[in-house]
Structure 1
Amino acid sequence: MPFFRFLNIKISLAFVAICLLITQHLVAAEKTHPITYYTELYPPSSYYYNDQLIGLSVDLLKFIWHDQGIAEQPILVVPWARGYKEVSDKPNTALFAMSKTADRAAKFKWVGPLFTAEYYIIAQPNTGLFITDITQVYDKSIAVIRNDVTQSLIYETDFPRQHIIAAKSMDDALALFKAERVDLLAISRSGLNAAIKQRKLGSNLFQRILLLKVIDDYIAFSKDTPDEIVEAFQASLDKLKNQHLALKEEYKLN
């Protein structure tokens, strides 16, 4: 009889130990995370579909969280200018997707690249504009997104500042262009194509007249973010190569 009582105690202790291990595993799988995430609405990187935030950057970030054992985090959708200010000024913040340019490289910590973007100057098709150099349209007005790479790229060309209209978002920049309140628009090819598809715009309303630059886009973390977080995220991204390629195919960002 004592033997069976001893055996029952051992079985009970083993059961308790297993339950503790399972609990610890579930807690670890849903561990909290100190970063606040921001994005803008900029398809196909991040946008709403059926009231759900999706896009290559959003989906890829979720894969990284899962690989890191991090519970799904809130993503705050804000105009680009606000998101850029938050990640510039506040600790433990991240903004995506941000083009990594020379003037930004030292300001943030980076995970990526997520995808490569081609930035163009767009004109109204009825203008008959054909140019080989941006100086040929210095007399035109152009819409850019405030604190976005489009603004930086246009500034780099010495475009007359009085002709640059800085919108707070891609939607606002597109609205200015569609209403013909500006002559030109600086935008990424993938962003424009996705906007045309989503908003059922005619592609014949937009004429690409000059390639500005080809740049890689990343997740930008605030400068104070611990290196171990950034390095772990980069390691996960590197490991998720197959999922990354599949998302590029799905969102047509090859």
Structure 2
Amino acid sequence: MMRPIAWIAVSLGLLGAVAHAGPLRVVTEETAYSYLQAGKVSGPATEVVEATLQRAGLDDYQIGLYPWARAYDMALQEPGVLIYLIARTSEREALFRWVGEIMRIDYHFYRLRERDDIEVPDLEAAKAYRVGVLRDDVRHQYLQANGFKKIVVTAHNSDNFKRLLNGQVDLVPMPEQDMLAQCKEAGLDPNEVERTLTLGDSTQLYMAFSLQTDDATVLRTQAAFETLQADGTLARLMGGSH
């Protein structure tokens, strides 16, 4: 039996012809799952997005790597924009048209191992330290909502991690794979960085369209993503890492 979105898409004839006029703009940031390689945006999450669009028959698209705040603003304000990997939160629920969950991750506070003066037994204790975050990222919003005042904002993951290394911030919240990728890029032994605290529950990371994107394009993409989940393609593609 077809799942509901796929059934709607087929019944409306949406899978027979390309719905969107003009190229879709696909936007993301640099992470362990989406990164620039040989001049092309690559990575497991990027492969999922491309496979979804290909299966949806939406071949006219351009993928761009941006600072998160810029990518987020484009998806918030402009039509025909697909953003990934974006955390699905209650605050964002009505701001985007959600396609599908690509993965779930946990964010952890990390400190330099040599900084044994930093003790973070709970979230409240972390408020005493300078915390590096990406502008408008879900971690930025989460910490603000929880009363953090010593927030140091940057545009890129790499800049944020460098601030940890040179002592400009005391803690950075990152998923483990991003931390490992940043250590590799910096030529640093990952054992020099220590996890101190996990932030809240696992975060669902999605691909999502801007609100102004036409219904047909959204339905086609949702239906295609469901088939990727059902046949195991999603799990296979996300089995790799940077």
Output the TM-score relative to the length of structure 1: 0.80
- 2:96 corresponding residue in structure 1: 108
Aligned length: 221
Q: Which amino acid aligns with 1:64?
A: T
Alpha-carbon deviations, 1:89-125, whole Å to 9, x = none? 1122121110111111111111110011111111111
Say whether 1:54 aligns with 2:27. Answer: no
Q: 1:90 aligns with which of 78, 85, 88?
A: 78
Structure with more relative contact order (C-alpha pairs < 8 Å, separation 6 or more): 2
2:240 paired residue among 242, 245, 250: 250
2:66 aligned with 1:78, yes or no?
yes
List 4+ stretches of structure 1 deviating above 3 A: 31-34, 197-200
Supply the distance in 1 between the matched residues of 2:223 and 2:184 (Cα, whole angstroms): 34
What are structure 1's unaligned runs of at least 5 residues? 1-27
Instruction: Kindly indicate whether the alpha-carbon contact (under 8 Å) linking 1:32 and 1:70 is maintained by their aligned counterparts in 2.
Output: no
Structure 1 residue 34: deviation in Å?
Answer: 4.5
Instruction: Say yes or no: does 1:219 pair with 2:177.
Output: no
Q: Which runs of 5+ in 2 are unaligned?
A: 1-16
Q: How do residues 80-159 of structure 1 correspond to structure 2 at under 5 angstroms? A: 80-128=68-116, 129-159=118-148
* Residue 187 in structure 1 maps to residue 148 in structure 2: no
Distance 2:112 2:186 in 1: 17
Identify the residue that residue 233 of structure 1 maps to in structure 2. 221
Q: C-alpha root-mean-square deviation of aligned residues, in Å?
A: 2.0
User: Match for residue 19 of structure 1?
Assistant: none
Give, in whole Å, the separation in 2 of the partners of 1:110 and 1:198.
32
Tell whether 2:64 aligns with 1:64.
no
Contact 2:23/2:60 (CA < 8 Å) preserved in 1? no
Name the structure 2 match of 1:6: none
Asked if 1 retains the 8 angstrom alpha-carbon contact of 2:97 and 2:211, the reply is yes
1:71 is matched by which residue type in structure 2? D
**Identity of aligned pairs, percent?**
24
- Counterpart residue type for residue 250 of structure 1: G
Is the partner of 1:65 in helix, strand or coil?
A: helix
CA distance in 2, matches of 1:118, 1:197: 20
1:130 is displaced (CA, Å) by 4.2
Using structure 2 for the length normalisation, give the TM-score: 0.84
Question: What is the Cα deviation at residue 233 of structure 1?
Answer: 1.1
The separation in 1 between residues aligned to 2:186 and 2:155, in whole angstroms, is 19
SS at match of 1:118: strand
Q: Read off the aligned partner of 1:184 and give its amino acid letter.
A: L
Richer in helix (by share): 1
Q: Could you say what secondary structure the match of 1:70 adopts?
A: coil
User: Which one-letter code corresponds to 1:244 in the other structure?
Assistant: L
**Code of the aligned partner of 1:207:** E
The yes-or-no answer on 1:175 pairing with 2:165 is: no
Query: Conserved in 2, the CA contact under 8 Å of 1:93 and 1:222?
Result: yes
1:159-187 Cα distance to aligned partner (Å, 9 max, x none): 12xx1001111111111111111111112
SS of equivalent to 2:93: coil
Helix, strand or coil at the partner of 1:75: strand
